[in-house]
A and B are shown apart, each in its own frame.
Chain A
Amino acid sequence: MNNILHVENLGINFGGLRAVDNFYMDIYGNELVGLIGPNGAGKTTVFNMLTGIYAPSEGKIELMGESIINKKINDIAKMGIARTFQNIRLFNNLSVVDNIKVALNSSHLYSLKDSLFRTKKYYQAEEDMENEAMELLKIMHLDDLAYTLAANLPYGKQRELEIARALALKPKLLLLDEPAAGMNPKETLELINTIRYVQDYFKVSILLIEHDMNLVMELCKRITVLNYGMVLKVGSPLEIQNDEEVIKAYLGN
C-alpha cells in the first residue's frame, strides 16, 4: 500500500488546554481527504503540527514512512508537505513569478559566491528557475499575470498563486487551509476545478480544511470530522452527511 501520511495518537497541550487529543489519520497516494469540524475544533492546530510549526506533545507523524517529529519547518517542506494558509500569506512585495521562485529555491541552489561573481551556475540556475516557474504559472493559468505584484492580484487569483507556490515545492502532500474562505459561488466553482486539476496533474495527495460543505462533499473521497480536538467520525461524504453525531456537533441538540 502506498501510504503517504500516517498519523497516530497525535496530541498537543497549550498550557492546561488539550487542543488536540488522540488524532489519527491515514492518507494514501493521490487521494483527496477532507478535515472538517466546528470552529475551534483544532483543525488548523493539526495542520500546524503536520508542518512543524507546533511540536506535538505526543504521537507519531510519518511521511512516506519517515518521522517528521522535531524536524525543522523548512526541512519538512522540503520532505514533501506543502501548505496554504487560512488568511492568504503571499510575498506581497514580490511579483507573481518571484513568489514561485522563492519556493523553487531548494531545487535550484546556488551560493552567494555564484551571485557575486555571476558565474555560469548563476545564469543556469536563474534560467531554469524562470522556465520552471513560468511553466507552473501556465498550468495554473497565471502566466499572463507573471510580472504583476502579488499584492495587486484579485482575491481568487491570490488563492491560486498560493496553491501554485506550494506546488513549486513538488510536494507529496498538499495541505489546503480553507481555500474557499471569502470566495463567491463562482470563484468556489473555479477553485473546485483547480483543485481537481492539480490533484490529477501533479499526482499529489491533498488534505483540505473547509467550511464550504458543497466543496467538501464534491471533492473529498474521505472525510475526518474533528470536534473538541478529537476525531468524531471518519467516513465517506454520504456517511458523514447522515451521521447524527456530526449533525449534533455542528447544529447542537
Chain B
Amino acid sequence: MKIRLSEARVGSVYLIIEINGDIKVRQHLSKLGVLPGVKVKLENKAALGGALLLDVEGKKIGVERRIADKILVGTRE
C-alpha cells in the first residue's frame, strides 16, 4: 500500500515508490539520493508541524512537510 512519507511511522524503513511534484522538486530530491526504489528510514518528525528527518543510505536529509507529502512510500513486504 502506498502512503505519504509524511504519514509514515517514525523508526520504520520504507521503499520509495513515487515522487510527485515538479521537476525542480524531483531534481532536488534525486541529487540527494531520494529516488524511487531507494530505501528510506523516517528517523524523526519535529513537533509543531516541523520538518522530517530521513535516513537515506546512511545519509541524513531534512525535508519540510510539504515535500514529504509528495514522496509516496510502501512498506517493504
Pair from one complex? no
Give residues in B with beta carbon < 8 Å to A. Answer: none
